[in-house]
Homo-oligomer: A and B are copies of this chain.
């Protein structure tokens, strides 16, 4: 076999042990908070039927789906000559499966397909990779993990409150200072009614969603290009100008959209959610941001986005309430609400702030140096005792040069190295080197056990 230069598809990544340990720290933290609030894990296959995926993410999304070629003689279904422009049509004939694009559509499919196995309200979390054939760039990958937490089958706003508590607890545990921005799609609909363009609701949310990225003038341009007239756009100004505390904003907004029933309903939802936090303390700032829109069409109530305070980066968590996610799979009128944590961005934030706990980088606590057969036989039962006491420990597998063994321990961030030679064996003690302080001491095995437990 010819020698190949090893490589991986663009936009994908290997994770080395150092990265894995940090990523697992994030995943485990998020998981334990999810469980603390009564959420349970599910997993779905990496591959879904293409029919489950197509049309769910808009035209652009369809293009970004990874399609899997049918096994066997996949061309037998295709007849006639094939022109280059027929690629898309042909893909549908030769591909029946595609890779998961997010965790939301598979979740909706899961709920309907496993209806007999689940109890409503169904509180689930799901931490799995998703794939998008997007143009790879800094911080954007073609394979990345999502950490989703949703409750489906309950209209209660208490669910929104709990999700805010979950967000608060996750970022407090990770020691990332954040702001939670909240809005409500009903308020946005109210605003669309107020400016006289209710049927342009989606266009308005899509444009407003870009406010932070492109600025107010470009948003106005976009609104114009989407067919909203200048006088209507002018009416948006007071909304963009809202200032002060959440309560100030709410009071002003009530006047602005007083004529919109749905808008007032949205305000009432926001007030109810905020009301809970008069009694419940959280550490994160919770800010009503009336320019927050979130692009996805399926949101119908509260929407959330979380920003890191000390790092310039997009949102690190987001979500909201949706009222008919499972409808397309045949289950109507089931409301849900959920948020998704962006593990990759959270990783980047923690790297930039240098706040990964130092103690997580080491997996092995004790390494025995290997001096040869006799010493090995002396050390192995000690090693076994350490492991039986729950201590991660290893012995270098061969009597290599001292320098090589020590640099192995260094590279693996192993804090304690044990040296056992003739002297130690005959007198029954161990020479233990603390790799952090450099200090070397001659101690009994029981003393070592005490130090590392």
Contact = CB atoms under 8 A, between A and B. Distances in A.
A341 to B, nearest CB: 18
A49 B7 contact: yes
B131 A394 contact: no
Nearest to A145: B43
Given A15-B43, A35-B392, A69-B67, A377 B330 contact: no
Given A17-B124, A47-B12, A69-B91, A330 B6 contact: yes
Interface stretch (A153-161, A180-188, A193-201, A343-351): A153-161
Interface stretch (A109-117, A213-221, A284-292): A109-117
A453 interface: no
Contact of A81 (B81, B118, B123, B158): B81
Contacts of A36: 387, 390-393
Interface stretch (A71-79, A260-268, A419-427, A432-440): A71-79
Contacts of A87: 72-76
Interface string A17-46: 110110010000000000111111111111
Of the listed residues A18, A69, A76, A109, the one surrounded by the most CB atoms of chain B closer than 10 A to its CB is: A69
A330 B75 CA distance: 35
B8 A44 contact: yes
B68 A407 contact: no
B81 A86 contact: no
A380 interface: yes
Interface string A90-119: 110011110100000000011011100111
A398 interface: yes
A5 interface: yes
Contact of A38 (B76, B155, B394): B394
Given A87-B73, A376-B158, A398-B158, A3 B45 contact: no
Q: A-side binding surface: helix, strand, loop or mixed? A: mixed
Contacts of A119: 407-408, 411-412
Contact of A86 (B75, B97, B158): B75
Contacts of A113: 6-8, 14
19 contacts: A8-B49, A12-B45, A14-B42, A15-B44, A17-B41, A18-B117, A21-B40, A36-B392, A37-B392, A37-B394, A38-B392, A46-B99, A47-B131, A76-B87, A81-B82, A121-B396, A123-B394, A158-B395, A159-B397
Interface of A: 1, 3-9, 12-18, 20-21, 24, 35-49, 51-52, 55, 63-64, 66-69, 71-76, 78, 81-82, 84, 86-87, 90-91, 94-97, 99, 109-110, 112-114, 117-121, 123-124, 129, 131, 133, 143, 151, 154-156, 158-159, 162, 165, 169, 276, 279-280, 327-330, 363-364, 367, 376-377, 380-381, 384, 387, 390-398, 407-408, 411-412
Given A17-B42, A37-B392, A276-B380, 9 more contacts: A8-B109, A8-B113, A14-B110, A16-B114, A16-B118, A69-B95, A72-B87, A120-B408, A159-B397
